[in-house]
Structure 1
Amino acid sequence: MDHIVNIGFESFVVKDRVLAVLPVASSAVRRLKQLGMETGKIVNLTFGKRTKALLITDSGHIIFSFLPPRRIIEKLFKN
């Protein structure tokens, strides 16, 4: 079960499928977020909280997270 990571509120991702973890502050990431909405590839795991990070998966899905990018990276790569 080491390859499944809890990213908050009992939501899980498969560690090997995550290609990037991005902060939402840049305009490029905001455009990526909009593209995901247009293509139907968004998975919103914020549960009403402010989006702080986007996870990009190898399937092209964009996961919105309320956790900051640094915290997600810690969860993905802790041993």
Structure 2
Amino acid sequence: MKPVNIGFNNMVMDERIVAIINPDSAPSRRLREEAKLENRLIDATLGKKTKTLIITDSNHVIMSAINPETISLRIGKGE
């Protein structure tokens, strides 16, 4: 298990990540809203625009201001 920087020195363990998705589609917006209502939404954007939703194995949804491609590269490199 290695931590992955998802922006602003926030980390997620790489083995806990199930999906990295774009937040602009209607299903993504519904997923974010449901997570917010169920207190499963974590905002790691520090007020910036959300560019990525990270889904974890604990069913939490993490909002990040980093591009999905950048996060996937960081996972691949083991950063």
Partner residue, 1:60: 59
Where do 5+ consecutive residues of structure 2 fail to align?
none
SS in 2 for 1:67: coil
- Count of residue pairs the alignment pairs up: 78
Q: Secondary structure at the match of 1:24?
A: coil
Larger RCO (alpha carbons 8 Å, 6+ apart):
2
What's 2:45 paired with? 46
**Deviation beyond 2 Å, 4+ runs, structure 1:** none
Instruction: With the length of structure 2 as denominator, give the TM-score of the two structures.
Output: 0.93
How large is the RMSD of aligned CA atoms in angstroms?
1.1
* TM alignment of 1:28-39, pairs within 5 A: 28-39=27-38
Identical-pair percentage:
36
Q: What's the TM-score, normalizing by structure 1?
A: 0.93
Q: Report deviation, 1:76.
A: 1.2
Q: Which runs of 5+ in 1 are unaligned?
A: none
> Which residue matches 2:4?
5
